[in-house]
Chain A
Amino acid sequence: MTELATAIADWRDDIFAALRAAEIRQVGYVPDAGHSRLLELCNADPAIRMVSLTTEEEGIGLAAGAWLGGQRAALLMQSSGVGNCINLLSLAKSCRFPMTMLVTMRGEWGEFNPWQVPMGTKTQAALELMDVLVYRVERAEEAGETVTAALDIAFNGGLVSAVLLAQRLIGAKRWVK
Chain B
Amino acid sequence: MSGLATGPAKGNDPRLDRRAAMRALLDGRGDMLLVTGLGSTTYDAAAAGDDERNFYLWGAMGAAAMVGLGLAIARPDRRVLVVTGDGEMLMGLGALATVGVQRPPNLAIVVFDNGRYAETGMQPSHTDSGVSLCGVARSCGIDAVYDIAEETALTELAARLRQFDRTIFARIAIHTDEPPRVLPIRDGVLLKTRFRRALGAE
Contact = CB atoms under 8 A, between A and B. Distances in A.
A64 B59 contact: no
Given A65-B66, A88-B60, A51 B73 contact: yes
B69 A65 contact: yes
Contacts of A70: 74-75, 196, 199-201
Interface string A64-84: 111111110100000000000
Interface stretch (B125-133, B161-169, B186-194): B186-194
B192 A26 contact: no
Contacts of A96: 188-189, 192
B87 interface: no
Contacts of B97: 54
A58 B94 contact: yes
A91 interface: yes
A90 B59 contact: yes
B174 interface: no
A110 to B, nearest CB: 32
> Which range contains the number of B residues in contact with the other chain?
35 or more
Interface string A94-123: 111100000000000000000000000000
B70 A69 contact: yes
A88 B73 contact: no
Given A95-B188, A95-B191, A66 B73 contact: yes
A36 interface: no
B74 A52 contact: no
Given A51-B102, A58-B98, A65 B188 contact: no
B92 interface: yes
Given A54-B97, A88-B60, A97 B192 contact: yes
Given A71-B73, A95-B191, A65 B95 contact: no
Contacts of A51: 69-70, 73, 98, 102
A22 B73 CA distance: 18
Given A26-B74, A54-B95, A70-B201, A61 B63 contact: yes
Contact of A68 (B55, B63, B94): B55
Contacts of B66: 58-62, 65
Nearest to A25: B74
12 contacts: A52-B101, A61-B60, A61-B65, A65-B35, A65-B69, A65-B74, A66-B73, A68-B192, A70-B74, A94-B188, A94-B189, A95-B188
Interface of B: 35, 55, 57-60, 62-75, 78, 92, 94-95, 97-98, 101-102, 188-189, 191-192, 195-196, 199-201
Interface of A: 25-26, 49, 51-55, 57-71, 73, 87-88, 90-91, 94-97, 158
Given A58-B95, A69-B78, A88-B60, 17 more contacts: A54-B94, A57-B62, A58-B66, A58-B98, A59-B66, A61-B92, A63-B70, A65-B35, A65-B70, A65-B73, A66-B71, A67-B70, A67-B74, A68-B196, A68-B199, A69-B74, A91-B57
